[in-house]
Amino acid sequence: MAKKSRQNPPKPKEFHSVPFGSLKNLVVPDEIKVKPSAPPARKPVEPAENSLDLFLREVADVRPIHGQDAKQATNSPHHLGKNAAEAQRASSPVTELADNLFLQEIGRLKLDTKFSDSVPDDGELEPLSGNRLRQVKRGVVSVEHQLDLHGLRRDEALAALPRFLQSARNRGQKAVLIITGKGNHSAEEPVLQQAVASWLREAGRELVLEFAPAPRELGGSGALVVFLRPVRLSG
């Protein structure tokens, strides 16, 4: 009887773990394009507030008072007298701030004009007064002496002025008439009138109180009524 051949049992299969094997056939692009994000928007720079805007913002809530509150306001600076009102106003912070801001704004301006106090000399002409002209028209002030400068050259007319005015002043005359002409017939007449007016205003101010164009009945714009300074009597 023949021997049965012994068959060896099959070997178990070896276990191979390939966890990412399924990704083997996955195609990966060489470069992934990423869209750049937009830069954050810049916050607009707000302009710096100037002093005036700051002041207006501070007083924006100020409102006028009415009714009972208005009655209580009788103790305001307007009812406390001038000195007390000025003192209270000076101590007000809002007023002080407003004054300071006003001075700052004025200081920033470029002004070509210079301001100065001017005190007129004792001999300067007084402002023109319509009262004296009315006195002449009514005959209260009589104009008895006159000087006619027609036909004279400028230097001759200016030389005759002081002699005539001094003589009339010594006689106690309050006003005299100087005829210069209107310039309708000669180009020299308006120049002469301007020269006479300039002399009366400057060189003749020790003799002249004021002057003005004459009324129509005395020659109108072709003549000047000159009011003389009274003579000071030495006592």
Q: Are residues 86 and 175 in the same domain?
A: no
At residue 107, the pLDDT reads: 60
Element (H, E) at 55: helix 51-58
pLDDT in tens, 3-38: 555 666 666 666 556 665 665 565 555 555 556 666
Q: Is residue 97 part of a domain?
A: yes
The answer to whether residue 118 is domain-embedded is no
Residues 141 and 176 grouped into a single domain: yes
State whether 197 and 134 are in the same domain. yes
Q: 227 near 208, Cβ under 8 Å?
A: yes
Residue 148 lies inside a defined structural domain of this protein: yes
The whole-angstrom separation of Cα 138 and Cα 142 is 9
Buried b or exposed e, range 58-92, using 16+ CB within 10 angstroms: eeeeeeeeeeeeeeeeeeeeeeeeeeeeeeeeeee
Q: Let me know if residue 199 belongs to a domain.
A: yes
Helical H segments across 73-207, by residue range: 82-91, 93-108, 130-138, 154-170, 188-201
Domain boundaries, position 171? 130-228
| Same domain for 205 and 161 | yes
- Considering its fold, how many domains does the chain have in total? 2
What is the spatial distance between Cα 75 and Cα 73, in angstroms, rounded to a whole number? Answer: 5
In a domain, 152, yes or no: yes
**Interval 143-161: pLDDT, tens:** 778 899 887 888 999 999 9
Kind and range of the H or E element at 202? none
Mean pLDDT of 87-110: 60
We report the CATH number of the domain holding residue 217 as 3.30.1370.110
Helix (H, G, I), strand (E, B) or coil at 169: helix
